[in-house]
Amino acid sequence: MDLKVDSEYRCNKCRDMTFIVDEGVAFPCECRALREAEEILKRSGISSEFRNKRFDNFNYYYDVQVMEVYKVARDYVRDFESIEKSRNNSIMFMGQVGSGKTHLSLAIANCLMDRGVGVLYMGYRDSVIRIKQNIMDQVYYHREMNRFKNCRVLLIDDLFKGSISGSDVNIMFEIVNHRYFNNLPMIVSSERCLSEILEIDEGVGSRLVEMCNDYRVEIRGKRLNYRICVR
């Protein structure tokens, strides 16, 4: 029994069921795509501030290196559907602090979400700390790890930032290795360069290298710190 009046539904056509039954046949309601997009965004962990990091508010004119990085990011978005299931389906931005690595990672995530592809944001440091704090809670541990291991696209922001312990590496290896075996895409940003990542952990690093073979960029030069140099 339904006690709601019409004004309490977000969609009066389907009464928020997202489908309409007509002569015994169910059709998706026109509100369904919108609801699915909202659901993807809710689950992504991407805040409204991050939602505003876009390609069209990214300025790439001031430096040829930045132009190149921007182009790789655009190429990745363009190619995504055709490479998603392949081994080479991920992208990695490395190097200079403040050079727009997170901005471009989010621009990609926002484009993909606009197309209905679910992305999960993982702030490396906070996430790893939280997992470690709850490592005795098996239910929490597995639920969190499974989210990162199995989401359609995982955005790892600031990989290996700060001091790193053996358990930090183990957590990242478990996630990256699972995604590697199952060809699940990752968008990675890190202020470390490739040789540093490989030195921290060759297992994590070499898998990322393989998965980001066509889409991997390292930005160098202090003058490319947008926070203090450009504008």
SS3 91: strand
Tell me if 167 sits within 8 A of 136, measured CB to CB. Answer: no
- Smallest distance, Å, CB 12 to Zn ion? 8
Q: Which of 77, 97, 198, 209 binds ligand ATP (CB under 6 A)?
A: 97
Copy the structure tokens of residue 85.
Answer: 């299931």
Torsion of CA 63, 158, 80, 83, to 10 degrees: 110
Which of Mg ion, ligand ATP, Zn ion, none does residue 99 bind to, with CB < 5 to 8 Å depending on kind?
A: ligand ATP
- Smallest distance, Å, CB 230 to Mg ion? 15
SS3 100: coil
Which of Zn ion, ligand ATP, Mg ion, none does residue 194 bind to, with CB < 5 to 8 Å depending on kind?
A: none
Copy the structure tokens of residue 182.
Answer: 């199952």
- Smallest distance, Å, CB 180 to ligand ATP? 24
**CA separation, residue 41 to residues 64, 110, 119 (Å):** 33, 9, 8
Closest among 182, 178, 176 to 209, alpha carbons compared: 176
Does 134 engage in binding with Mg ion (CB under 5 A)? no
- Smallest distance, Å, CB 22 to Zn ion? 13
Cβ proximity to Mg ion: between 102 and 225 the closer is 102
Which of Zn ion, Mg ion, ligand ATP, none does residue 13 bind to, with CB < 5 to 8 Å depending on kind?
A: Zn ion
Q: Which residues contact ligand ATP by CB under 6 A? A: 53, 58-60, 66, 97-103, 158, 189, 191, 226-227
